[in-house]
Chains A and B, each alone.
Chain A
Amino acid sequence: MGILDDLQGPVLKANRALQLDTAFEATSETEKPEEISELLLQQMYEDMMLLRTFDKRSVGLQRAGRIGTYPPLAGQEACQVGSVLALRRQDFIFPTYRDYGAMMLHGVPMENILLYWNGRAEGCLIPPEVAVFPIAVPIATQLPHAAGAAWAAKLQGIDQVALGFFGDGASSEGDFHEAMNFAGVFELPVVFFCENNQYAISVPLHKQTAVPSIAMKAAAYGMEGVRVDGSDVIAVYRAVRRAVEKAVAGKGATLVEAMTYRYGPHTTSDDPSKYRSDDEVAVWKERDPIDRLGSQLRSWGFWDDHKQAALQSRIDETVANAIRIMESAPPPDPEDLFRHVYATMPARLRRQREELLATLQPNQEGLARG
């Protein structure tokens, strides 16, 4: 088996106009995929629309000072939707800070995501039955966790696959290498899913790595690397589905690289005009994952203007409702500073909690206690 023969997916094609070493041929189905039901295709579309709408509203909330710094995901919907829909409920996901879309789709309430970006401890809550790990802010640190969770499933004979999300920049961190290596050595049921959005904040992929693809790196760990068009939700779904089936069958880990793009800034604190051109953004917007699936659904007779309008209004209501819940939360409770630091609060922390409460103004404390 030639290791580089494992590299599948669209052919690499240099595109000098874009200044990207990583331009590639877009994929798109012309016929309805046989193995994917109409229902699931519509689900993909609806989920992508939900994430796009959530993202637009969240950026607006941040600009209005109603939430804190926020990392937009627009452009990457097909990656998060296609990968999560390919999982089973019990499969465990390990997100980065931009994967709150995947988190929601896998069961985290939308209002918790909003509370998190609004700096509220309550936003960290993940319902007990939901197989989602908290957002990892430090880059690549979630990948060893995903490998470890997959290892635990394997050791205990549990039918569960772990999926770790990461970006192109994360492939430079030591944790990436160590996670891949463990997954390879111990043949773990894990999927490493790279949303290669071409930039780590301002640094383009060709300055991040001297090889033209992240998927290629899988060869060094004895695992399969697959590259897909990350604006093609069907392609993402298929690649992850196949990786999950392989993991379930005891055939080890897969690295899936989805070629994508973030339309917006790295976070609302970032100004992308410093490092990329409007023309480049426009080229990627022509490959928009939602428009693409929308056209496909219409050409297959599964979608029309009436359905579109009904969906948009349903989604608007869902997002508005989550915002209402987030904004009607009682003021933050200062005692939350001290909760969940240890299983049992040490005397020292109890004393510090009392010290803090004693210094709060009566009205402040009253507010805080709701």
Chain B
Amino acid sequence: MAKKTLVQAVNDALRHALQANEKVVLLGEDIGRNGGVFRATDGLWGEFGDSRVIDTPLAEAGILGTSVGLAVNGMRPIPEIQFMGFIYPGFEQIVSHVARIRMRSRGRFTVPMVVRVPYGGRIRAPEIHSDSTEAYFAHTPGLIVVSPSNPYDAKGLLLAAVESEDPVIFLEPMRIYRAFRDEVPDDYYTVPLGQAAVVQSGTDVTVVTWGSLVRETLAVIRELEAEQGLQVELIDLRTLSPWDEDTVYRSVNKTGRAVIVHEAVLHAGLGAELAASISEACMLQLEAPVARVTGFDVPPPLFQLEDLHAPTPERIKLAITKVMTF
């Protein structure tokens, strides 16, 4: 057992995946000799060779389209897209093929693949390097969408994703790639897809979030506990689609209040689906309308304003207070 950052945990999981199954190949831009722009594949090219850790031409549609072909014909590809803002040339491949092959072929063909994508903002990156458009993928039936919030889950969820018979969009929050370390077991292990984690139990209000905002929201909740004595239940959704309805509904039925926090924009964001579902399922227990704290309905700004675009501690606190005093 060693303390690892999230990006080291990803690296560790990829090494296990390559060792466990000779059909696994990694492909993407700069992932080989360079070890990836975030060093997520550091050392793997040297260890496994350039037929398993593959530097591709600069072509996202090519990376994802050939991954479909690789997957239907016996391989287990793990393509990397360098930043979420660059996935769109391959969007057609994801939406029209990756997500639908199983259904279009009535189960004859499947495309078990894990598309790794660094996402989210607030690392002072250049324009179009800060997208958080998970809703596009959650809106696409046939895909599993995952986002870890800590190194332990990152390794376990990634290995579970590689085992999955369905395609997984694996969103890695760049902001916490190196923000902190966790104990990460050296051995192979999985964290099941489709299960949210109750980070902290509470009885007054349920807060649902994922990715880099789990840790930040927890800090806000600790302040609220100290200041107002609130007992907040914090849920890390982990799998964004199909999401863990049981855990969320059980919690909201207990607390009667729900706040959803995400970095993506408000309009048609994943929070809208959660809020609507909670309203339908927990109607009689709700003491207040479901609140959402999200990015504003504007394109991700250049970095000097990005901290104000994302949910700030002030806005999270305000939303929880509002729901409590409704």
Using CB atoms and an 8 Å cutoff, list the residues of chain A in contact with chain B: 68-69, 97, 116-121, 123-124, 135, 137-139, 169-170, 172-175, 200-203, 207-209, 267, 269-270, 274-275, 332, 334, 336-338, 341, 348-349, 352-353, 355-356, 359-360
Contact = CB atoms under 8 A, between A and B. Distances in A.
Interface string B251-283: 000000000000000110000000000000000
A221 to B, nearest CB: 18
Given A116-B302, A119-B124, A359-B318, A172 B58 contact: yes
A174 B128 CA distance: 19
A173 B29 CA distance: 12
A201 B34 contact: yes
Contacts of B318: 359
B55 A207 contact: yes
Given A116-B302, A337-B308, A207 B89 contact: no
Contacts of A202: 30, 32-34, 55
A121 B301 contact: yes
B35 interface: yes
A59 B113 CA distance: 39
Contacts of B30: 200-203
B157 to A, nearest CB: 26
Interface of B: 29-30, 32-35, 37, 55, 57-62, 85-86, 88-89, 124-129, 266-267, 296-299, 301-306, 308-309, 312, 314-315, 318
Given A120-B304, A173-B58, 9 more contacts: A123-B302, A138-B88, A170-B58, A201-B34, A203-B30, A208-B57, A269-B37, A337-B308, A348-B297
B89 A175 contact: yes
Contacts of B304: 118-121, 332
B126 A207 contact: no
**Most chain-B Cβ atoms within 10 A of its Cβ — which of A118, A202, A275?**
A202
**Most chain-A Cβ atoms within 10 A of its Cβ — which of B29, B59, B297, B318?**
B59
Main secondary structure of the interface of B (DSSP, over half): loop
Given A119-B304, A170-B58, A137 B33 contact: no
B302 A270 contact: no
5 contacts: A137-B85, A139-B58, A174-B59, A208-B57, A356-B308
B296 A337 contact: yes
A202 B267 CA distance: 38
A341 to B, nearest CB: 5
Contacts of B33: 202, 274-275
Given A172-B58, A352-B296, A334 B34 contact: no
A78 B57 CA distance: 26
A334 B85 contact: no
B93 to A, nearest CB: 11
Contacts of A338: 296, 298
Contacts of A118: 304
Given A123-B302, A275-B33, A356 B296 contact: yes
Contact of A174 (B55, B61, B126, B302): B61
Contacts of B60: 173
Contacts of B312: 359
Contacts of A124: 302
